[in-house]
Structure 1
Amino acid sequence: MADKIAAAWDKLGEHPHTPLAELFADETRVAKLSGRIALGEGQGSILFDWSKTHLTDGILRDFEEVAGHAGFIDARDRLLSGAIVNPTEGRAAEHTAQRGIGKDSSVEEAFALHQRMRLLVEAIHEGVFGEIKHLIHVGIGGSALGPALAIDALARDLSLVDVHVVSNIDGCALEQAFAACDPRTTLLAVASKTFTTIETMTNAQSVIRWLEASGVSDPTGRVIALTASPEKAVEWGVDETRILPFSESVGGRYSLWSSIGFPVALAVGWDEFAAMLDGARAVDEHFRDTDGRENLPLRAAFADQYYTRIRGCQTRACFAYDERLALLPDYLQQLEMESNGKSVTVEGKAVTAPTAPITWGGVGTDAQHAVFQLLHQGTNLVPVDFIASIAPGDELDPAHHRILLMNCFAQGAALMAGRGSDDPARSYPGDRPSATILCDDLDSAALGALIAFHEHRTFANAVLMGINPFDQFGVELGKEIAKKIEKGGESFDASTENLLALAGLA
């Protein structure tokens, strides 16, 4: 099978390069390389336009062959059925079960845990805990990035509780949250899968001390624990009624849909959180029920692999032309780079081609005046995703949103078309690829769908590359060395020893 996969990749490398302008001579190109996912009754839809990439019928056909030899259909079925898809840790990856797609027992468990979370959220809103105006949510990685993204996107117009997500161990981050909160009306959510993460638990202890110093009589009574290790939360002092468990098979960067989403539900209400789950499920169903190039996350992965493996692109950029998605590039960095930043295959052999590119991005139109110079005239070829919403997120003069969308669409057109000039400094080479994701509206369902689309895109990329996207051992070595520094008695390289001495840590 490895020989067949290698041969299929070789065929992809033999395709001649056809400029985008020539590809658009095909009047059916936009229809063939665009697809739409409906988000449910009354929820609108999202358009995924990959026509400004260099994908052709022949390239897509050969990618479908790669996917077949790589066992994509079986891998997808295993993912969505709760089978083990993380062989290094012997685990399933059951984030879709949180949305109702998966093994029956896991879906039932997720529903029961969601109901437990809903009851607690509604009790807080109804005043059972007294007057609650603020929540300090401490976590790191997926326990923080997902909630931060969703709250920033959805809670701008209506926030039932003011939520501050703190992930950095740097005390400045926590002090900023303290300055914005009244301790008499503040809850603390501690989000940690193991309930041992040093950054999270250190921050949690500091919040407890802040509450205590501010005259709160029972600081631990203000704690909500979000964890897959409820027994550890009990040992830490959290009452069982305020522990919201989630399954061990839900990975950190895929955990927003579980009780890690508690701060989102608290901020915007349960109905909005449920709508986010529904939007994600709509993408799950499309991903499950659609094959080949018509499967939109798989098609996106085909383009990703074409640019990374065939064209040698080392980065991929994402620009959200919507202020509410300002944190999306940060979220995608972890999702894609922690999942697919690997150097060995599922079998433990060294990979023979590039894996994940560096994911980066920003917000339009700010990014146009910062980094687009390189995109248009630099020597690096960078595939770009543009994300926008037809409906505005503001109530100002419609000119604001009209100009925003015009700039978004113009950038994609300019990257593709380019423009020649007798003055080399004013010449644009063009033929630079982009994709556009256009939401009817950026509501809770659309946000859920956007995140789920990128989850499945990341998984599809991993299958095509033959790697495991669900472990992350690369983050462990630095942690181990930090523990050795704290313990003392170890020696390090001369540079590190000098830095430790200068900082008073030797």
Structure 2
Amino acid sequence: MTRDEAWNALALHPDPTLEELFAADPDRVDKLSTRLELRGGEAPLGIRFDWSKTHLTDTLLSEFEALAEACDFAGMRAKMFTGEVVNPTEGRAAEHTALRGVGKESSVEEAAALLERMKLMVEAIHGGVFGEVKHLIHVGIGGSALGPALAVDALTRDGAEVDVHVVSNIDGVALEAAFKACDPATTMLAVASKTFTTIETMTNATSALKWLADNGVDDPTGRVIALTAAPEKAVEWGVDETRILPFAESVGGRYSLWSSIGFPIAVALGYADFQAMLDGAAKVDEHFRDTDGRANLPLRAAFADLFYSRLEGAQTRAVFAYDERLRLLPDYLQQLEMESNGKSVNVDGLPTGPTAPITWGGVGTDAQHAVFQLLHQGTHLVPIDFIASIEPGDMLDAAHHHILLMNCFAQGAALMSGKHSDDPHRNYPGNRPSATILCDDIDAMTFGALIAFHEHRTFASGVMLGINPFDQFGVELGKEIAKKIEKGGERFDASTEALLKAAGVG
């Protein structure tokens, strides 16, 4: 069967409601809910993935399995884990899993050596080798900032070894906020850029060095740790080679928090917790590598994603974390999913159909009072992921967490069932899909597993769409035009010219 034949077969699916699917199959929850164990023993830890409130059926799952086979999903997955080229437009492998100890043996060994170098740096900082260090300003953008920001925010609610501030925006207001929160005498600077030429990052880094110098730091560059795949560029910029933490060229930006880009995470948490994050991701890597068909959790999630975006016309997918610790997760997933699969041509350069939906979301219960009106009674089909933790992240009265979880589960039930009323203003149509990811707790290991799950889910979707999820040429055009504006001597459209004149730019 070819890819097109597999898609054509899927297009002929019946359209039962969710309530009809539950009524027809008493085993539906067991079939579409799976617990992934991350740790056994006296303190077991795991995550429950419940896709039963989606429209997946046994027939659809079989047809999606046929699609995966037609797309050589197993072959592409093997290529990724063995370090072969899976990014054909740039001629690169994608070896982020090697950083977690799963991949080509030589790549795993190289990654372990680089992470050991980072570990020694982290221990040196915590041990006082660089003097008293209370603050770290981490400058990066995109994948060099979103992952560290999410992890630090999620995992340091009970305190941090070092106070970390992640700055990505070129808007000076963001950097000034970090300056106000830090004492320059006890602050280090991490500069994260794969190429060490990213204009936003390098401009922020230069301003941070000036801030250190202006506030009495004798050797500002001596406070810099460079995180890059281009160490020679960092040396040219002035960073001593002993303070450069490299990572492999085969690690893409939005997959890089496992590498030295995760340095601020390790500084904030301590290296033991950073290692736990890697270990949690490795558990998902092994499951994804070794499990076939619908039992493969990231692949099953990709089946549902493609069903709604490709066959049902859903243009967005929403993620609601019913946990304040994961408030930045929708931002992180926006880049992971939309930069990876937001393409309009396949690997052969030919036009393709709908690819990545727009990823968006928020935090429950805040979102219930902001956007859920549209989700319950609006005209858009929006598949939803709910993410929650059984263990609370606070020490307050248990009522707080009890109400939080009640609301999370109630929203999924209400979206599915709806409520009929003769008053059209109070009628809820129901039959609106959702999935639930229920964690035992939000700790470093669970966090690593959650991120790896979404990485593999994104990869699986890309393979079945026939696109390359590892390039991102779409982010370059605007940057090229900005450089032309800065250089001057070139004319643009009338609107842009008027805006440049009004702002005094260019």
Is 2:170 the partner of 1:174? no
- Distance across 2 between alignment mates of 1:326 and 1:47: 20
- Distance across 2 between alignment mates of 1:325 and 1:223: 29
The residue type paired with residue 454 of structure 2 is H
1:436 maps to 436
1:117–1:259 contact (8 Å) kept in structure 2: yes
The residue type paired with residue 21 of structure 2 is L
The residue type paired with residue 390 of structure 1 is I
Deviations 1:47-72, CA, capped at 9 Å, x for gaps = 00000000000000000000000000
Deviations 1:205-242, CA, capped at 9 Å, x for gaps = 00000000000000000000000000111111111111
The residue type paired with residue 22 of structure 2 is F
Structure 1 gaps of 5+ residues are none
Deviations 1:411-433, CA, capped at 9 Å, x for gaps = 00000000000110000000000
2:480 maps to 480
The residue type paired with residue 135 of structure 1 is L
2:411 maps to 411
2:496 maps to 496
Shift of 1:40: 2.4
Is 2:359 the partner of 1:359? yes
- Distance across 2 between alignment mates of 1:43 and 1:223: 40
The residue type paired with residue 487 of structure 1 is K
- Distance across 2 between alignment mates of 1:412 and 1:142: 31
The residue type paired with residue 35 of structure 2 is R
SS of the equivalent of 1:39 reads strand
- Distance across 1 between alignment mates of 2:285 and 2:3: 27
SS of the equivalent of 1:204 reads helix
The percent identity for this pair of structures is 75
1:6 maps to 4
* Aligned pairs, number: 503
The residue type paired with residue 104 of structure 2 is K
SS of the equivalent of 1:450 reads helix
Is 2:470 the partner of 1:470? yes
After TM superposition, list the pairs within 5 Å mapping 1:248-263 onto structure 2. 248-263=249-264
1:36–1:48 contact (8 Å) kept in structure 2: yes
- Distance across 2 between alignment mates of 1:273 and 1:429: 45
1:319 maps to 320
After TM superposition, list the pairs within 5 Å mapping 1:392-403 onto structure 2. 392-403=392-403
- Distance across 2 between alignment mates of 1:212 and 1:235: 20
- Distance across 2 between alignment mates of 1:104 and 1:6: 36
1:136–1:163 contact (8 Å) kept in structure 2: yes
Structure 2 gaps of 5+ residues are none
SS of the equivalent of 1:24 reads helix
2:339 maps to 338
Is 2:261 the partner of 1:269? no
After TM superposition, list the pairs within 5 Å mapping 1:3-402 onto structure 2. 4-25=2-23, 26-41=25-40, 42=43, 44-351=45-352, 353-402=353-402
Q: Which runs of 4+ in 1 moved over 3 A?
A: none
1:43–1:445 contact (8 Å) kept in structure 2: no
Deviations 1:4-51, CA, capped at 9 Å, x for gaps = 211211111111101000111211000000111111234500000000
The residue type paired with residue 19 of structure 1 is T
- Distance across 2 between alignment mates of 1:150 and 1:475: 24
- Distance across 2 between alignment mates of 1:144 and 1:57: 40
1:420 maps to 420
Shift of 1:438: 0.3
- Distance across 2 between alignment mates of 1:459 and 1:139: 24
- Superposition CA RMSD, Å: 0.7
Shift of 1:350: 1.1
- Distance across 1 between alignment mates of 2:463 and 2:89: 15
Deviations 1:305-346, CA, capped at 9 Å, x for gaps = 000011000000000000000000000000000000001101
- Distance across 1 between alignment mates of 2:502 and 2:209: 31
The residue type paired with residue 292 of structure 1 is G
Q: What is the TM-score with the length of structure 2 in the denominator? A: 0.99
- Distance across 2 between alignment mates of 1:281 and 1:39: 9
- Distance across 2 between alignment mates of 1:131 and 1:485: 43
- Distance across 2 between alignment mates of 1:212 and 1:278: 40
SS of the equivalent of 1:388 reads strand
The residue type paired with residue 34 of structure 1 is S
1:40–1:282 contact (8 Å) kept in structure 2: no
